[in-house]
Amino acid sequence: MDIFRGPDLNSSSSCNSTGSVHVTPSKSQKDLGVQLVLSLALGATALITFCVLRPRWPQLYAARKRRIEPQIRLPELGTSFFGWMPKLYRITEHEVLASAGLDAFVFLNFFKMAIRLFCVMGFFALVVLLPINNRFRDFRPTFGDNKTEDGKDISQLGLSPTLLPLDDDDSSFGMYKGGHHKDLSSERTYLWAYVFFTYLFVAMTMYTINWETIRIIKFRQDYLGSQSTVTDRTFRLTGVPEDLRSEGRVKHLIEKLEIGSVECVTMCRNWKEVDDLMDDRDKLLRKLETAWAKYLQSQNKDKQTQRPGQVAAPANGNPTPHIDEEAGETQRVLEDNTDNPHMMEGERPQTTIRYGPFLLRSRKVDAIDYYEEKLRRIDSKIVAARKKDFKPTDMALVTMDSVASCQMVIQARIDPRPGSLLTKATPAPSDLVWKNTYAMRGIRRLKSWSITTFICILTILWIFPTVFLASLLSFCTVEKTAPAFAAWLKDHPIMYSLLQNGVPTLVVSLLNVAVPYLYDWLSNYQGMISHGDVELSVISKNFFFTFFNTFFVFAISLTGLDFLSKLQDFLKDTSKIPRAISDDVEWLSVFYISFIMLQGIGLMPFRMLEFGSVVLHPIYRAMSSTPRDYAELEKPPVFQYGFYLPTALLIFNLCLIYSVLRWGFAILIFGIIYFVLGYFTFKYMVMYAMDQPQHATGGAWRIICYRIMIGLIIFEIVMVGQIAAESAFVQSIFILPLIPFTIWYSYYFKKRYEPLTKYIALRAIRSTEDHEDAVLMDEQFADEGESRPSQALFRRGSTLDEYREKGVTFVNPSLVVPLKQPWVYRDPPPLPTEEETNTSTEELPSLVMPNTVSGLGIGDANVWRDSGADAA
């Protein structure tokens, strides 16, 4: 029996006057079957393809394992077709923490928490709530215009314009029977079950959050307390007054506090000049390497066109440059991926330079000589710039002699003046965005608020294309714009189901994949100090977008073109919003089931397949021309939590919101499937396939918990509206206290747990000599029936962060990084020594061949060196 009634394909009255009814798909169980078959087909195809390609493409599917330090050992998964699955399952969370870090540990534990919680909730939804809903809530929703099928106004008949139960013997699709409806007063007692399970599920969710938070805090404190990296001993000091802006004065100020010795101080200075020079040098270096690649390819083609045994004559009588014997493979790759039909035999690539007044004069010169000279000149500027004394800013990075001293400073206030000498934790040196360390605080704050405001406005503006796309996908729009196609759909119910059910979920899924790239790009311009902060910001922004557009926009209005009029009504009377949401939530049940099906069963295996990387790899390879380009193709892709976590949080909240309702059991079942598949998929990605260059020390857990609390509040509002729609006001009033209680719980969580997700407790910090403290902490883990994480995790005597930060210091890389030489042949050039980096450009080695090529002599080369090199 169909639970929901969709538009009648054989009745013209199913479409309203606007020509469009519902942004939701049709709502029959048959549609769910079609969506399930489609999702299974997509997922099975991707999974089988992955199992076939995984052992054949280890450079992609085991990229991280091939490049991590040998000390970090990952279990071998083997090359069998399905044999990798049980081995991946047996990887413990201790091994995840040791080899992938805190962020991966927190991310995967969110999936495990969801599985445990929804298994229990799903049991109650299936065993208790499903029989209740089948007995009392066998709904037939009304049309959008609140009229019966024969055009009578429901309000005139005394019927509720929302969801009404039919008689048990009613098998028709009508809203009423003979103009009469059943007395609902005898049936409202079942709504107390809704009240009970709303309280139960809210309590279970909060208990699960508490239990998992305490557990994560213990792992986090033990992990961070057992290590002593330069990051753990360094804090960021902002708001430094002008009279204290020197390394010596800051060191004296901190040591006067008598909380420890200062190891070193890095005063952030205005390094914009040297940073810009390094950026320009990187661009020049790549242009020079591209020119060399073109020339070597031309030489290789010349050799292939010669008769066997004939030696190619060098251009202009110059000696042929030495070609490394190991460069043969690279040259063949370059030849296969680049075609230069315009080049003559033996000719070197040229480039056009402009010089003179207003750069009106131009001349073609040898590209290799030109870029080599430009590189020499910019190297000279960099060497000179590195010796300058740059103006200090109001920020300093202070490294203490111990982790405990650093944590005491971070968790304290050292100056009575507001905004002065503020202390914060410092990200790792490789995680710092150095260009933002010397930006003015006011400018960074202005950029942050401006982009945040722009993103909020943009997210709201996404309503209109979302509603427009949804209205285009409705059957009534098709019937109005393409009657012949609509008639064909009536004769093919499976295709109709795909249009009404599969296509909208696919469009929403693709939108949720595409938009995060835009938000990620915008977040990088907000002036944040670290890449980890950017990642957390992307998670928040993308969740706001996915939740707002996927749930709120669909739930607030079922009619695409009627959205603005409904929005005006809600602005006039906001009390209508809970009732409208509760009514429309029932309509959207099948849509969200289809959405979760597609995300979990259909698209999750594609994430493990890295479909985007596979598709784009030939394109990137065709665009590559230099050895450096090909080496960068071998780097593992970056795992970005901001792209994956928001969708998982959305599905978690959908499972909460629908847990008590008619289709709650189905949404919970497919939600469990989503999180099970997601756990295995993302576990493989973070462990074997993808890199995580930045680490936020598990900071995403705070975002996860607060977003779940938002879902709880929406769940409670929906249940109030659902029960109030049945005129059961007493039961709905009993749910109202949950809303302020959930808000209070968020403040409770913030005060009790959040500090321990940001800082390291002093008692958790220990050295190798702190045996008594270690025994005491072990006893605190004993009551949980598991060993202390450090016993199994850190037996090698080091953590992943300590491996990452071995030998690094808080110094702007632009000041000390060796100046890379052009990568011409297969093997990368050796890094220059510190002495070579600091020499003048006249002493730098040259890659250009002696004399000249392409008909230019030394004297000719000086012409463009003097007149146009700097002007180009």
Which CA distances in Å does 616 have to 222, 470, 620? Answer: 41, 29, 6
Question: What's the chain's average pLDDT?
Answer: 76
- Read off the pLDDT band of 279 (50, 70, 90): very high
What distance in Å separates the CA atoms of residue 677 and residue 703, rounded to the nearest whole number?
A: 22
Which residue stretches of 700-845 are H helix? 700-725, 729-735, 738-752, 754-758, 771-782, 789-793, 800-804, 813-816, 834-837
**What pLDDT shows up at residue 303?**
65
pLDDT digits (tens, 9 = 90+) for 374-387: 999 999 999 999 99
pLDDT surpasses 70 at 431: yes
- Read off the pLDDT band of 76 (50, 70, 90): confident
Q: Work out the average pLDDT over 154-183.
A: 38
What distance in Å separates the CA atoms of residue 766 and residue 129, rounded to the nearest whole number?
A: 51
pLDDT digits (tens, 9 = 90+) for 698-722: 889 999 999 999 999 999 988 988 8
**What pLDDT shows up at residue 424?**
92
Residue 656 phi, psi (nearest 5) = -65, -50
Q: Which residues pair with 355 in a beta bridge?
A: 361
Output the CA torsion sign for 342, 344, 350, 354. Answer: negative
- How crowded is the C-beta side of 465, counted as CA atoms within 13 Å? 9
**Which residue in this structure is represented by tokens 């021309």?**
625
**What pLDDT shows up at residue 482?**
76
Is 379 within 8 Å of 292 (Cβ atoms)? no
- Read off the pLDDT band of 212 (50, 70, 90): very high
pLDDT surpasses 90 at 285: yes
pLDDT digits (tens, 9 = 90+) for 570-613: 667 766 666 666 667 777 788 889 889 989 999 999 998 888 88
- Read off the pLDDT band of 28 (50, 70, 90): low
What distance in Å separates the CA atoms of residue 210 and residue 285, rounded to the nearest whole number?
A: 53
Q: Work out the average pLDDT over 121-144.
A: 76
List CB contacts of 300: < 8 A, sequence separation 6 or more: 331, 332, 334, 335
Q: Which residue has the higher pLDDT, 389 or 512?
A: 389
Ranked by mean pLDDT, the top range of 11-20, 159-168, 325-334 is: 11-20
- Residue 178 Rama label (left phi>0; alpha psi -120 to 50; beta): left
pLDDT digits (tens, 9 = 90+) for 107-132: 999 999 999 999 999 999 999 999 99
Select from 373, 317, 353, 300 the least CA-distant residue to 853.
Answer: 317
Residue 254: what residue type? I
In CATH, the number for domain 232-271+390-426 is: 3.30.70.330
**What pLDDT shows up at residue 8?**
42
Q: Work out the average pLDDT over 263-277.
A: 93
Alpha carbon 592 to its chain's center: 22
**What pLDDT shows up at residue 71?**
66
pLDDT surpasses 80 at 39: yes
- Residue spans of the domains in the chain: they are 51-221+442-763, 232-271+390-426
List CB contacts of 530: < 8 A, sequence separation 6 or more: 427, 428, 431, 432, 433, 694
Taking 3-state DSSP, the helix, strand and coil percentages for the chain, each rounded to the nearest 5, stand at: 60, 5, 30
Report pTM.
0.80
pLDDT digits (tens, 9 = 90+) for 401-424: 999 999 999 988 888 888 899 999
**What pLDDT shows up at residue 557?**
47
- Read off the pLDDT band of 40 (50, 70, 90): very high
pLDDT surpasses 80 at 230: yes
pLDDT digits (tens, 9 = 90+) for 831-847: 776 665 565 444 443 33
**What pLDDT shows up at residue 206?**
96
Q: Which residues pair with 364 in a beta bridge?
A: 352
- Burial class of residue 611 (count of CB atoms within 10 Å of its CB; 0-12, 13-18, 19+): middle
pLDDT digits (tens, 9 = 90+) for 754-765: 999 988 888 888
The continuous run of DSSP H or E covering 139 comes out as: strand 139-140
pLDDT surpasses 50 at 331: no
Is 720 within 8 Å of 213 (Cβ atoms)? no
